Chain A
Amino acid sequence: DGGITQSPKYLFRKEGQNVTLSCEQNLNHDAMYWYRQDPGQGLRLIYYSQIVNDFQKGDIAEGYSVSREKKESFPLTVTSAQKNPTAFYLCASSIPTGAYTDRLFFGSGTQLSVL
């Protein structure tokens, strides 16, 4: 079955540590996204990539980094510069912008907490 796989489901970060969240999709989608969700707030875009080897900052990119070396993979690194990383992180994908009736497909999420 096609879908998006995020791992791990739960992740704990120590002070000053970088951690990487994995996101893999086999939907053959060109575009991939990382969102952060805090309680009582809407999803906020961290980074997005519309094609392999290219990515752009979203609304809250500070303290995060990404790579897009393969179409299927879009890992997110939460760096030590992100001072408030505790949140639920969601990876998503879609066919390229411009498809009028397209929608986002989400992975099952990673809950990141600070020790």
Chain B
Amino acid sequence: RKEVEQDPGPFNVPEGATVAFNCTYSNSASQSFFWYRQDCRKEPKLLMSVYSSGNEDGRFTAQLNRASQYISLLIRDSKLSDSATYLCVVNPLGGGGFKTIFGAGTRLFVKA
């Protein structure tokens, strides 16, 4: 089993749709969780950290379920500009560090 597994893509959705991605992690000691966005042949950019209580940033909502060891990202009112690959990132030590594990990413295509 991979340490971090994400929904297989690609997801193809129309503009305005709501789309959800899930990610599971195997290390129950994991301390910090992130969603990154990566455009083709560009660097990953932090979309949002994921907190135990769940958190929202505009159209994006992240949830963490420690008991089931999964993280989710919900995107509401999808825009064309949301088309990208979304990486689930987990760290057992907390914060940036050499133990950071990256999921393979879920590709999202938003079409007009």
Q: How far is the CB of A43 from chain B (nearest CB, A)?
A: 4
Partner of A108, one of B32, B42, B93, B101: B42
* Residue of B with least CB distance to A111: B41
Docked complex: A79-115 residues within 8 A CB-CB of B: 88, 90, 92-95, 97-109, 111
In the complex, the answer to whether B34 meets A42 with C-beta atoms within 8 Å is: no
In the complex, the answer to whether B96 meets A88 with C-beta atoms within 8 Å is: no
Q: Which residues of A contact B45 (CB under 8 A)?
A: 106
In the complex, the answer to whether B96 meets A94 with C-beta atoms within 8 Å is: yes
- Interface extent on B, as a size class? 20 to 34
* Residue of B with least CB distance to A48: B98
A109 to B42, CA, bound (A): 7
In the complex, the answer to whether A103 meets B94 with C-beta atoms within 8 Å is: no
Asked if A2 CB lies within 8 Å of chain B CBs, one says no
- Interface extent on A, as a size class? 20 to 34
Q: Which residues of B contact A99 (CB under 8 A)?
A: 94-96
A95 to B46, CA, bound (A): 15
Asked if B104 CB lies within 8 Å of chain A CBs, one says yes
* Residue of B with least CB distance to A10: B41
In the complex, the answer to whether A102 meets B41 with C-beta atoms within 8 Å is: no
In the complex, the answer to whether B94 meets A98 with C-beta atoms within 8 Å is: yes
A residues with a Cβ closer than 8 A to B are: 31, 33, 35, 40-43, 45, 48, 50, 56, 58, 88, 90, 92-95, 97-109, 111
B residues with a Cβ closer than 8 A to A are: 4, 31-32, 34, 41-46, 49, 87, 89, 93-105
